Amino acid sequence: MRHYETLFIINPDSSEEELKAVATKIKGVVSGMNGIVTSYDEQGKKKLAYSVKKQNKGYYVLMDYVGSADIVSELERNMRLDDRVLKYLTVKLADQVDPESIEPEKSEPPEEAKASEVPESEAAEAPEPEAAEAPEPEAAEAPEPEAAEALEPGEAESPEVQESEESEKKES
């Protein structure tokens, strides 16, 4: 058996009863051909990237299932004939899958959640890591400018200082 994933978009103007009718029809096609629906995720109304059958929004549904290759062709044939289905896309996730191995994978909580749960008794015993104190960098002290060199902004040097600087430049 193979593992497939089908994403299909239903007309957003459909009522709750029509949505349930489409769901039972699609699931019935898979189960009627000896397939197993592993997940059926109704993602709700979303805006489409472009207009499909004069609709700007659609009701998204993602379905994972396990079955033979014939299921895909029959499922897509049924979606093509149903006017309530705007678009669909099927992707093969795996070639050889054991159906029993797929169902527990969906029902178990993720392992990350298990690892993050730590009993309070263990958490209390484990000491918290101490923050390593980094030595403070020493501030480099800039030499204080001499009174003659320090000028306020906008203050011009005296003409005597300017002349002495020009004479030093000429000598060198």
In a domain, 118, yes or no: no
User: Which CATH number characterizes residue 84's domain?
Assistant: 3.30.70.60
Bigger pLDDT: 68 vs 168? 68
**How far apart (Å, rounded) are the C-alpha atoms in residues 10 and 25?**
13
Report the number of distinct structural domains present in the chain. 1
Structural domain including 92 reads: 2-106
In a domain, 94, yes or no: yes
In a domain, 143, yes or no: no
Query: What integer is the mean pLDDT of 152-160?
Result: 58
In a domain, 171, yes or no: no
Bigger pLDDT: 114 vs 46? 46
Q: Look at the block and give the residue holding tokens 């396990």.
A: 66
Determine the pLDDT at residue 23. 92
In a domain, 7, yes or no: yes
Could you write out the DSSP letters of every residue in 107-140? HSPPHHHHHH---HHHHHHSPPPPPPPPPPPPPP
In a domain, 31, yes or no: yes
pLDDT above 70 as % of the chain: 58
How many Cα atoms within 13 Å fall on the side-chain side of residue 42? Answer: 12
In a domain, 37, yes or no: yes
pLDDT above 90 as % of the chain: 48
pLDDT digits (tens, 9 = 90+) for 54-105: 999 999 999 999 998 899 999 999 999 999 999 999 999 988 887 677 763 3
Bigger pLDDT: 147 vs 86? 86
| Count of all residues that appear for the chain in the document | 172
